[in-house]
Amino acid sequence: MNLSFFDQFTSPYLLGIPLILLAMLFPTLLLPTPNNRWINNRLSTLQLWFFHLITKQLMMPLNKKGHKWALILTSLMILLLTINLLGLLPYTFTPTTQLSMNMALAFPLWLATLLTGLRNQPSASLGHLLPEGTPTPLIPALIMIETTSLLIRPLALGVRLTANLTAGHLLIQLISTATTALLPIMPAVSALTALILLLLTILEVAVAMIQAYVFVLLLSLYLQENI
């Protein structure tokens, strides 16, 4: 019984072909297609306004040099947001519940921000490993601590996103199972758990949006430290 709760996190296969790539590419169908018309429909206008709002929020912590990353960060934000929200639909698969995928997104981008800092301002980037005014006996220990905290940043990004989404999906499945099991026995309790399930689903929608924003926002803050 416990194993069945985790079956939703296994990558689906069709004729031996993993469908995780299809699940990642499907959100692109929801994006507006460019056209030559001056006036678009309401949906396209709303989507463009939303993209502009996301870009503005992500670029606020960055200076002008960091604005070159606007396309990458905004695209990543929209990808994570759509995948997280579509994963809440019934009979769907959420690729961001896989730690391997989240690490594949977090590690290269974190490494790119680190290499950018080492190339543009190596002294300032290495200076973050040793705070100013550190007593001499504490220098080796602080360097090791700061280096460790620097290296676990991509792991923290991937684990945070995976853990939050996995916990939310498990809670939804547990409460929905309890709701259906209690319906023939105690309808009143089943109705109460159904209300809790509705509130939890609304909370998970907010969590899906917040976790996508936090993932990209932390990357932008790491970038700001190195430019």
Give the pLDDT score at 206: 93
Query: What does pTM read for this prediction?
Result: 0.81
Cα–Cα distance between 69 and 67 in angstroms, integer? 5
- Where are the domains positioned within the chain? 19-226
Going by C-beta distance under 8 Å and a sequence separation of 6 or more, which residues neighbour residue 162?
Answer: 96, 97, 98, 99, 102
Give the pLDDT score at 1: 44
Give the pLDDT confidence of 171-206 residue by residue, as tens digits.
888 888 888 888 888 888 889 999 998 999 999 999
Structure tokens given for 33: 């297609």
Task: Assign residue 39 a region (left: φ > 0; alpha: ψ between -120 and 50; beta: otherwise).
Answer: beta
How high does pLDDT run on average in the chain? 82
**Stretch 139-162: mean pLDDT:** 87
Cα–Cα distance between 124 and 83 in angstroms, integer? 37
Secondary structure tally for the chain: helices H, strands E: 9, 2
Going by C-beta distance under 8 Å and a sequence separation of 6 or more, which residues neighbour residue 8?
Answer: 93, 169, 173
Q: Which of 63, 82, 59, 61 has the alpha carbon at shortest distance from 71?
A: 59
More confident residue, 107 or 4: 107
Give the pLDDT confidence of 116-135 residue by residue, as tens digits.
888 888 777 777 777 777 77
Give the pLDDT score at 100: 86
Cα–Cα distance between 3 and 170 in angstroms, integer? 12
CB 189 within 8 A of CB 182: yes
Q: With a cut of 80, say whether residue 16 has pLDDT above it.
A: no
Q: With a cut of 90, say whether residue 215 has pLDDT above it.
A: yes
**Stretch 82-105: mean pLDDT:** 85
Give the pLDDT confidence of 33-73 residue by residue, as tens digits.
666 666 667 777 787 788 888 888 888 878 888 888 888 88
Distance of CA 52 to the CA centre of its chain: 19
Q: How confident is the model at residue 144 (pLDDT cuts 50, 70, 90)?
A: confident
- Of all residues in the chain, the percent with pLDDT exceeding 90 is 20
Give the pLDDT score at 155: 93
Task: Assign residue 14 a region (left: φ > 0; alpha: ψ between -120 and 50; beta: otherwise).
Answer: beta
